[in-house]
Structure 1
Amino acid sequence: MITQKIIELGLSISSWFLGLLPQHAPDWLVDSGDGMAHILKVINSWTVWVPWNVLKVVCIGLMAFWLVIWLIKLLMRVWSYVPFIGGAG
């Protein structure tokens, strides 16, 4: 009974929030293909000053590093719940 009321409250809040949003995307967003092409062409011309290949490798390496760190933290957290090994028993 209480859970049902909480779920109904959540549904009504989410439907109210979605009602605030427009039904269709605005025209400036739909017709932004030419603008995006221009921006990408300008950014692509910066390869003289910005080594995009090196930057891409650095970003991928950084994301991989953080993924490994988060996986290690997750494994340590899970391992701590194993009885007689990780401190849970």
Structure 2
Amino acid sequence: TNIVLPQAIPPMIPPLGNYVIAMFKETPILSAITVLDLMGEALAQANFSYRYLEPITLVAVGFLVVSLGSAATIKLLETHLNLRAA
């Protein structure tokens, strides 16, 4: 049998989207800035200013924005391709 690539791609979008979000959460951003780097810098700033809430919250909000942005983009792609499962 022949495998037609365009027919194989749409069913792969939801699991691929989940994989992208999981990889973002578990690995460094673009392999340049890791979670440890961001948290380390946030803690260094917090130690300098004795204000811990703001730097740590900023790092958390940054990761939340990127995660939710990725999820929204994947959801739009799924909706565009009519892939919503029942």
Q: TM-score, normalised by structure 1?
A: 0.36
Larger relative contact order (Cα-Cα within 8 Å, sequence gap ≥ 6): 2
Higher gyration radius (CA): 1
